[in-house]
């Protein structure tokens, strides 16, 4: 068992702070007062450190980037409150620093199997690179390519010779039939047949020669390539074996003392294979250390320290939930046995919400979607705009939903009652002829009056439904915006999305290369509030039946 040397007693008096009745739900939470105090103390400690690590906090940020830290408030054997601290991944190239809990498994151990296998794989890679750059390989490859081109050229020339000879012999026969006696024509025919057979024989002999030459050349080349392929197979096997071995060395405990490996935990997920970095986040490290040392978990929080990665939205000192792709399966096991807070997000979804119809005719219906209400059924919640409208119009034969609003966004949402109308309206969305206007309240004052944001987006595969800015693989996303007014340090803005990507307006508002000012209440890219202050205020389109322009508008409730 590890020694309890990472338990940190509170510097301030916390004896009067009421303990939480349940442990923190790590994927959607407000930090408890004890977590806030632990975070304040840890951040003061971080500021004093002289690690060889640039978090990019200063004016000249350069290419530096921050990392995630975490605190776990615990009660020790004597019943005293304190906390544990952890960082995600490595810090300054090391897994070990004073006051911070160790990793669940240290792959950086000098004489560990991972280091040994890593060296073996590096040796294989060096051998492969040496063979791939060997002059002999390039010589054999050039010879084979040269011979292939030459053989194709000579064989093509031979084929053309046969075609020309065949055409000439045909012409000779037609001329000879009219001019020669039967005996003379017979002699000519025999000569022409012999000529045809000679041409075919010459072609076959030439083709046989080139098959032999190319076969020998290919053999010589394959001998070198096969040596490279064999080494690559060995490297691939070694890499897979090392990864599987490493995954089995990551053993995670829960409150009941049950241990599970990464492989067994992720075996129940869709991917089956743990993603890179699984188990290296702060939350699993904290809980593992607590369980190993018989410390009782009380509350937990994770915060970002430093500059945000260019693709993500991370604010210095801001609290964030645990990532779902890497941590949700692991924490699902590690939290077993703890009395955990309910998922507040699901609780909000289950609240009965009114769905006001703002427009309806024989072909279309439009509703004012409430905030924190699904457009279509989710994995755990069936209630949605779709299910409500389907229940109200059971005879509607269309797919109904033409476009969606994010769960947290309120406002105008249009639905079709028939397949033909659905197709016609969807075509307008695809051609971007439908005009959409959103209104949002941003947490901060903008200095410019209007502009356009172009930041391509893709989903964060390790933390759905969060979106990343990705210039390499992201889909184009464009937003035109204008400032309406600034009020008490906040900005009221109108958004005119040209494209309709998931979380487009939220990311474009919060990202450093966008407005760098998150929407008030954005619990994914900013900070929580009573609601996300984003509202689909207006929708303008051509009615597919009457061909008249229709404008639907619902004022923002904030």
Structure tokens at 20: 């939480």
In a shared domain, residues 146 and 164: yes
pLDDT score for 246: 86
In a shared domain, residues 350 and 338: no
Pair 415, 401: CB distance under 8 Å = yes
pLDDT score for 154: 96
pLDDT in tens, 340-349: 999 887 766 6
Return all residues near 376 (Cβ < 8 A) that are at least 6 apart.
384, 385, 386, 401, 404
In a shared domain, residues 314 and 362: no
Percent of the chain with pLDDT over 70: 97
Judged against a pLDDT cut of 90, whether residue 34 lies above it is answered with yes
In a shared domain, residues 200 and 238: yes
Q: Of the residues 342, 358, 389, which one is the last residue of a structural domain? A: 342
Task: State the chain's mean pLDDT as an integer.
Answer: 93
pLDDT in tens, 69-86: 999 999 999 999 999 999
Quote the domain boundaries for residue 168. Answer: 130-246
In a shared domain, residues 442 and 326: no
Residue 116 within a domain: no
pLDDT score for 214: 96
pLDDT in tens, 292-342: 999 999 999 999 999 999 999 999 999 999 999 999 999 999 999 999 999
Residue 107 vs residues 114, 457, 459: alpha-carbon distances, Å: 6, 33, 29
Query: Number of structural domains, the chain?
Result: 3
pLDDT score for 178: 87
In a shared domain, residues 90 and 223: no
Q: In 442-538, which residue ranges form alpha helices assigned H by DSSP?
A: 504-510
Return all residues near 107 (Cβ < 8 A) that are at least 6 apart.
114, 115, 246
Q: Rounded to an integer, what distance in angstroms lies between the CA atom of residue 221 and that of residue 511?
A: 52
Beta strands in 66-201 (DSSP E): 67-75, 81-87
How much is the average pLDDT of 458-467? 93
pLDDT score for 1: 40
Return all residues near 413 (Cβ < 8 A) that are at least 6 apart.
366, 367, 368, 369, 375, 385, 403, 404, 405, 536
Most distant CA pair in the chain, distance: 129
Judged against a pLDDT cut of 90, whether residue 113 lies above it is answered with no
Does this model's pTM top 0.95? My answer is no
Residue 125 within a domain: no
The catalytic residue positions are 406
Q: Rounded to an integer, what distance in angstroms lies between the CA atom of residue 6 and that of residue 8?
A: 6
End-to-end CA distance of the chain: 55
pLDDT score for 349: 61
How much is the average pLDDT of 487-496? 96
pLDDT score for 153: 96
In a shared domain, residues 354 and 502: yes
Percent of the chain with pLDDT over 90: 85
CATH number at residue 356: 3.30.2350.10
Number of C-beta neighbours around residue 423 at 10 A: 14
In a shared domain, residues 506 and 369: yes
């Amino acid at each position: 068992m590890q020694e309890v040397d990472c338990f940190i007693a509170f510097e301030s008096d916390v004896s009067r702070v009421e303990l939480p009745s349940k442990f923190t739900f790590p994927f959607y939470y407000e930090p408890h007062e004890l977590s806030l105090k632990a975070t304040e103390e840890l951040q003061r400690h971080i500021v004093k450190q002289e690690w060889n690590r640039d978090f990019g906090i200063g004016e000249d940020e350069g290419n530096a980037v921050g990392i995630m830290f975490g605190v776990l408030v615990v009660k020790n054997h004597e019943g005293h409150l304190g906390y544990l601290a952890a960082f995600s991944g490595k810090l300054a190239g090391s897994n070990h620093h004073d006051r911070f809990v160790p990793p669940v498994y240290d792959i950086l151990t000098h004489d560990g199997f991972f280091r040994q296998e890593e060296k073996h794989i590096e040796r294989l890679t060096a051998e492969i690179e040496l063979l791939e750059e060997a002059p002999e390989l390039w010589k054999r490859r050039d010879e084979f390519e040269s011979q292939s081109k030459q053989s194709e050229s000579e064989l093509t020339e031979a084929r053309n010779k046969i075609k020309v000879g065949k055409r000439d012999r045909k012409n000779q026969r037609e001329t000879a039939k009219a001019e020669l006696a039967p005996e003379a024509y017979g002699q000519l025919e025999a000569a022409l047949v012999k000529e045809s057979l000679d041409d075919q024989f010459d072609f076959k002999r030439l083709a046989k020669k080139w098959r032999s030459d190319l076969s020998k050349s290919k053999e010589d080349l394959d001998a070198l390539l096969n040596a490279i392929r064999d080494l690559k197979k060995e490297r691939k096997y070694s890499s897979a074996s090392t990864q599987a071995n490493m995954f089995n060395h990551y053993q995670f405990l829960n409150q009941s003392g049950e241990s599970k490996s990464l492989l067994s935990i992720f075996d129940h997920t869709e991917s089956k294979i743990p993603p890179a970095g699984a188990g290296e986040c702060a939350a699993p490290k904290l809980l593992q250390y607590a369980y190993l040392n018989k410390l009782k978990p009380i509350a937990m929080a994770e915060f970002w320290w430093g500059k945000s990665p260019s693709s993500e939205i991370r604010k210095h000192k801001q609290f964030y939930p645990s990532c779902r792709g890497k941590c949700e399966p692991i924490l699902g096991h590690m939290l077993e046995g703890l009395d955990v807070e309910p998922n507040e997000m699901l609780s909000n979804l289950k609240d009965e919400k009114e769905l006001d119809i703002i427009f309806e005719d024989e072909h279309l219906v439009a509703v004012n979607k409430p905030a924190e209400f699904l457009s279509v059924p989710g994995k755990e919640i069936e209630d949605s705009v779709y299910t409500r409208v389907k229940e109200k119009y059971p005879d509607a034969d269309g797919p109904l939903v033409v476009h969606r609003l994010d769960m947290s966004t309120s406002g105008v949402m249009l639905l079709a009652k028939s397949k033909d109308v659905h197709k016609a309206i969807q075509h307008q969305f695809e051609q971007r002829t439908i005009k959409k206007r959103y209104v949002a309240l941003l947490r901060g004052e903008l200095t410019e009056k209007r502009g356009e944001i172009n930041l391509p987006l893709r989903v964060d595969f390790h933390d759905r439904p969060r979106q990343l800015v990705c210039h390499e693989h992201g889909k184009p996303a464009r937003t035109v915006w204008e400032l309406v007014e600034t009020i008490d340090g906040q900005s009221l803005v109108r958004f005119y999305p040209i494209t309709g990507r998931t979380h487009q307006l939220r990311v474009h508002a919060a990202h450093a290369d966008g407005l760098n000012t998150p929407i008030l209440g954005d619990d994914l890219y900013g900070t929580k509030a009573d609601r996300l202050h984003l509202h689909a205020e207006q929708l303008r389109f051509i009615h597919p039946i009457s061909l008249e322009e229709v404008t639907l508008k619902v004022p923002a409730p904030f």
